[in-house]
Amino acid sequence: MKFQSFIAAALSLAGVATAAVSATSTALGSGEELLLTGAHIIDVEGKQVRVGNLLIRDGKIAGHLDSPPAGFEGKVVSLDGKWVMPAFVDLHTHSFGDGVPGGRPDALGTPQVANHYLYAGTTAFVDLFGDEETLVDLRARQRAGEFGGADIYASLSCLTAPDGHCTEYGVPTRTMSTPDEARASVADLAKRKPDVIKFVYSPSDDQPSIDLATLEAGIAEATSHGIKTVIHVKTWQEMREAVEAGASAITHTPRGDMPTDIPALLVAHGAVSIPTITVHNEYLNYFFDPAILEAPMAKVLASDRVKAAYKNPDMIARYQPSFDERKARNANTLRSVGALAQGGVTVLLGTDGGNWGTVQGYSVHREMIKLVEAGLDIFQVLDAASTGAADFLGLDYGVKEGAIANLIVLDASPLDDITNTQAISGVIKDGRFVDRASLLAPAQ
């Protein structure tokens, strides 16, 4: 797939706005307690809901209580009639900002994007390729407490062939042609502690690709460093080969009918799918269904320039002739993702934010709608977006004792209607309520 919007200038600008204005949550101090009372608490992994009280201590879930403990001295927040569930994680984005069809991207910068994510109830995201130096620096500074927002995770680089996909954006990335070069490149990148390692494996593409032996060597080297791999593929055959090569995750959904052996192959190898339905079909939806960008969350997270671009009559006219063809392709994507899930594959949420047809933060909610349309069970969808995605990063999200207290408070049940994930009345990160309004202010 050609990702039209990903413009080099924006990527290299990602670090310009480095100091986010909002001082967001830091972990609760020793002994600091928060008690949420009366909420419907959604246990995504246990696939159940119970009404009760949730005790949070030192940034972690400390237990479920039938009634507030006698003499409780911590903060008590009444959430009668509200719904509480684990916060979201986006496993595939490019955090420089938002793509703008027909124009320069909105280069919000990673700190502001981190704020937008947190506003939208997402407490962590994985940047799957941007400027490596910028991302190393920003991730370190965020972890040192210099700014807040959703937690930054990153592949830091995109490992690809010389002139392969990822090299077209003018941002430095790591290229390789042989197994030895792949091993050396991964070993060098591993020193900078990427949270995952991304490879482009797409011999079917017009652009050059690494060959299978190079991919196998790179994956083996990453695995020897204990780092998971995410492989960008374009065809089902490429997905098959990447899975057999030991990939931890495959990202994107190939076109065409999925061969019937694919789900069992992923299950047998323990590989997960990050299908990024959003980037495959929202591009069309944004142009032809204006209501999507009229949603309250979209209104505040998408800039006027982004919103105007999808109303541009010239652009709409350009895509009108291919509408039916694209719509059929999108239906096929949904069928494939549904069949993957039906076949027992763990499907996890990624948006490919930064591209056209995405809005950082908001698209997490759009991807959940797409996963429901693909036929996933509602708890599967919530797991894909929260506990499951977090688990891929080695993070314990959820409502069980000991889990990180990254939670969202909703006005209505997402089990009844997935669009209710957008009805956020509160976000709790590391055990503390976040000041959401401050997250919308521009970074300085």
Contact positions toward Zn ion, by CB under 5 A?
352
Shortest distance in whole angstroms from residue 3 CB to Zn ion: 7
Nearer to Zn ion, 181 or 352 (CB): 352
Shortest distance in whole angstroms from residue 264 CB to Zn ion: 27
Kindly give, in sequence order, each residue whose CB lies less than 8 Å from that of residue 439, ignoring residues fewer than 6 positions away.
Answer: 22, 24, 115, 116, 118, 119, 149
- Give the residue among 53, 174, 87, 183 at the shortest CA–CA distance from 427: 87
Nearer to Zn ion, 126 or 284 (CB): 126
Say if CB 431 and CB 56 are below 8 A apart.
yes
Please report where in the chains the tokens 């490149």 appear, as a residue: 185
Nearer to Zn ion, 25 or 202 (CB): 202
Nearer to Zn ion, 128 or 381 (CB): 128
Nearer to Zn ion, 349 or 382 (CB): 349
Shortest distance in whole angstroms from residue 96 CB to Zn ion: 11
Please state, in angstroms and rounded to a whole number, the distance separating the CA atoms of residues 118 and 24: 9
Shortest distance in whole angstroms from residue 94 CB to Zn ion: 6
- Give the residue among 155, 146, 148, 156 at the shortest CA–CA distance from 113: 148
Q: How far is CA 261 from the centre of its chain?
A: 27
Nearer to Zn ion, 95 or 332 (CB): 95
Task: Please name every residue paired with 231 in a beta bridge, in sequence order, or none if there are none.
Answer: 199, 250
Task: Please name every residue paired with 159 in a beta bridge, in sequence order, or none if there are none.
Answer: 199
Say if CB 217 and CB 185 are below 8 A apart.
no
Shortest distance in whole angstroms from residue 46 CB to Zn ion: 32
Shortest distance in whole angstroms from residue 275 CB to Zn ion: 12
Nearer to Zn ion, 282 or 430 (CB): 282
- Give the residue among 366, 414, 343 at the shortest CA–CA distance from 41: 414
Shortest distance in whole angstroms from residue 352 CB to Zn ion: 4
Say if CB 270 and CB 240 are below 8 A apart.
no
Question: What are the structure tokens assigned to 172, written together?
Answer: 């430095």
Shortest distance in whole angstroms from residue 95 CB to Zn ion: 11
Residue 421 backbone phi and psi in degrees, to 5: -65, -20
Please state, in angstroms and rounded to a whole number, the distance separating the CA atoms of residues 156 and 193: 9
| Nearest residue to Zn ion on Cβ basis | 352
Nearer to Zn ion, 3 or 319 (CB): 3
DSSP letter at 442? P
3-state secondary structure of 167: helix
Please state, in angstroms and rounded to a whole number, the distance separating the CA atoms of residues 26 and 59: 9
